[in-house]
Chain A
């Protein structure tokens, strides 16, 4: 398979680009909801439009009402989301939760997938328990109780937790906190009893929650996959989420870069366009190189995940780390090259910087993933 988009994928890219630029642009998306202090951080009407476009269920099997597409296609949508900073639960619902629910029973799928696909319900994912992404350590416990389970513990920085109807929760059903085995994933309705949610607004205006479980009762039907065998499902979900986050990061990087290149072609100082200065040209060209490479490795990792290749795990971490570095460079150079105006709220470049920071942290930052590259490579 060549390492560029096929004709069908290029068409999807055009569609997604037009849709996001028209319906989910910065003015009517991010700024609109932020300036109204929206408790969800995004508009549900747009989310319904995502469903009408078929985006919400694109990763799900056709038999389950989805489009049966892969991570390359999801990445195409995410790149446009990134470019437009479009607030939506696409990453948590349609990528992370959808990947987990693929491993669920038919009963579970029938119960939850229609709502997800129609854009009626929003899903969030509760894995992290600290301020850093540390999925190897899961202390939230689900004890056997009658025919079901009782969930106790806490999850932090649940992205889209505020607007979610359902949470996918990774909990320990046996073993010690750091064991690989003994994990089970649960589909938990957010309005279940004995649960509390503290909403917190993040730097990029998105909403997350700190969620406590004080003996939340779940029936056996809430289990996704096998009891104690959830690590595999969790890993699949995280891989999908990480490469999805990387794809959105590529969009953020390209959006910030394009804006910046446009700006230095217009801004005049010392009687000339500042883009004529070699000091800026070399940095802009270096940035271009880094962003191109980040995009290439992201598409490579998407293809490998779709093929089920063994190297997908390594390349997903390479991509997540590379995008974090390249997009980080794009937004930092973006603000610097815009000069004073780059520091104003009125100008969009700062919004890219904020979104990038959140994406860098989500599901593991560059250090986490570089360390993972070393671990997987055996050094």
Chain B
């Protein structure tokens, strides 16, 4: 038996022994997702047991090196773990912007000291991070951002405002783009790391059309950001004034992550679930709706293959570096279509805003939430611009 086959069997056994039954059910509510952090609480014992088992095994971040809290899995091993988790419907043990975004940035640009400290904190779910990128006047044109850090020797004094900061009101630390040179657009931004508990940081949740508030406005009023947190542990990633390089790299990761929502390891046809749903409610699937579902499933199942190919190519260094933009574009547009169809199948029931039967209006709130998919992390239009320029190499793009 090959090493990989062995690994698959071991993984299967380990999951069988360590993943509680409750953690193999689909995520239904916000608190089914464990985000970690100083103020985190577990919803139940199963969530705690599953998180702790994964943390101790390095499976909150399986592909990170062991020294930084991961399991040091190779790309094929990590793929097997993903497949085996998907096969039993296992929930992610820990979700966080530290894992998805800051972690990859530190692995690429961080100092050894930063990696030792911050990656281990992330892997162990100790610190919850948020991302400070967009500003009220800087959406798609992110590089025009104005939040400014004045050089005060051993620290910066930061003033300004960020917007669309995901879960800033729950976060412990922020990784934040701050202008440190007003005369240099691209080479005048520093990628800073600082504690949200410090003086001068305040957050205000934004009420969305879904009735939920996953995003905040974040204000900085004379916030003191140290240039160093100790030996070999600067308060910024990469070089001073070169934070845009880190930000661009990270946006690629964000696009990958968002693109996963349309496909990923999902293989079941949406039509199957919808048929089951309509059978339960006694409504027949309208033939035209069935046709739409089938056409959607063709696109969605094809995209699962694209996701697999994309991941395989990225891991072997074969893919085009701008390909995440394409994945983000298609994945988010598919997710919007998926929710439009789910609303149609649900009929008037899916219009309910507060009922118990809809778990507080989940169908309609989720549907509305998806409309942001093709806006956040780079709009579909910006993605198409990037594909035009970097992949198709069209002039003037």
Which A residues contact B (CB, under 8 angstroms)?
2-4, 261, 264-265, 272-273, 275-276, 278, 280-282, 284-286, 288-289, 292-294, 296-297, 299-301, 311, 314-315, 318-319, 321-322, 325, 366, 369-371, 373-374, 377-379
Contacts and interface: CB of A to CB of B under 8 A. Distances in A.
Contacts of A373: 269, 271, 294, 297-298, 301
Contacts of A315: 301, 305
A300 B298 contact: no
B330 A276 contact: no
Nearest to A281: B388
Given A284-B388, A377-B272, A261 B298 contact: no
Given A281-B388, A285-B383, A289-B326, 16 more contacts: A275-B396, A276-B396, A281-B384, A284-B394, A285-B388, A289-B387, A296-B308, A299-B309, A300-B308, A318-B298, A318-B302, A370-B297, A374-B297, A377-B269, A377-B297, A379-B290
Interface in B295-337: 295, 297-299, 301-303, 305-306, 308-310, 312-313, 316, 318, 326, 329-330
Contacts of B394: 261, 264-265, 275-276, 280-281, 284
A272 B397 CA distance: 13
A22 B269 CA distance: 43
A273 B275 contact: no
A285 B384 contact: yes
Among A280, A288, A373: residue with most chain B CB under 10 A: A373
Interface of B: 267-269, 271-272, 274-275, 285, 290-291, 293-295, 297-299, 301-303, 305-306, 308-310, 312-313, 316, 318, 326, 329-330, 381, 383-385, 387-388, 391-397
Nearest to B323: A292
Contacts of A288: 326, 387, 391-392
Nearest to A379: B275
- Main secondary structure, interface of A, reads helix
Among A272, A300, A374: residue with most chain B CB under 10 A: A374
A264 B275 CA distance: 45
Top 10 closest pairs, chain A to chain B, by CB: A379-B275, A300-B305, A276-B396, A285-B387, A377-B269, A297-B302, A281-B388, A297-B305, A3-B309, A2-B312
A293 B330 contact: yes
A379 B302 contact: no
A214 to B, nearest CB: 40
Nearest to B325: A285
B383 to A, nearest CB: 8
Contacts of A265: 393-395
Nearest to B295: A370
A373 B302 CA distance: 12
A378 B275 contact: yes
Nearest to B298: A321
Contact of B312 (A4, A261, A301): A4
16 contacts: A278-B397, A281-B392, A284-B388, A285-B383, A285-B384, A285-B387, A285-B392, A289-B326, A297-B301, A297-B306, A318-B297, A319-B302, A325-B299, A369-B298, A374-B297, A379-B274
Contacts of A264: 394
Contacts of B303: 293
A273 B395 CA distance: 8
Contacts of A322: 298-299, 302
A90 to B, nearest CB: 24
Given A282-B381, A322-B298, A374-B290, A379 B269 contact: yes
A285 B386 CA distance: 9
Nearest to A375: B294
Contacts of B297: 318, 370, 373-374, 377
Given A285-B384, A292-B326, A377-B269, A261 B302 contact: no
B326 A314 contact: no
A375 to B, nearest CB: 9
Contacts of A292: 306, 326
Nearest to A304: B305
B302 A296 contact: yes
Among A261, A285, A292: residue with most chain B CB under 10 A: A285
Contact of B302 (A293, A311, A377, A378): A293
B308 to A, nearest CB: 5
Contacts of B293: 374, 379
B92 to A, nearest CB: 23
A369 B301 CA distance: 13
A370 B291 contact: yes
